[in-house]
Amino acid sequence: MKKAWRIKKNSEFQEVFKKGASFANRQLVIYYLHKSEQNHYRVGLSVSKKIGNAVVRNQVKRYIRQVFIELDLNIKKSYDIIIIARKPTKEMDFHQTKKSVNHLLYKTNLLEKK
């Protein structure tokens, strides 16, 4: 995932939290905000220290980033998306993470119809 497609600044996170919509399942929470001036979606990840040590947190973030790389063509453009990991994510493998992210994107209508 290109660094230009990531949300890094606290002010950008806060804007999505305040103005955007959200949806959650047991493993993840998604916040999303439509930005018509963008030509590509941007993703921000938040994995708390409650999830585990740095190795576990980085693994969870790598899994989620890889899911977005694989789904790149199917995700609607011009959205800011924030994914927050919950505790069950530390026991999940890549395929479970992909299924969970897919579920969130489908329920929030961020996946384009084929």
Q: What pLDDT, in 10s, does the model give residues 54-99?
A: 999 999 999 999 999 999 889 988 999 999 999 999 999 999 999 9
- CB proximity list for 55: less than 8 A, separation 6 or greater: none
pTM: predicted TM-score of the whole model, two decimal places: 0.90
User: How many other C-beta atoms are found inside a 10 Å radius of the C-beta of residue 34?
Assistant: 13
Q: Which pLDDT band holds residue 5 (cuts at 50, 70, 90)?
A: confident
Q: Give pLDDT, residue 10.
A: 95
pLDDT score recorded for residue 3: 77
In angstroms, rounded to a whole number, what is the distance separating the alpha carbons of residues 41 and 71? 12
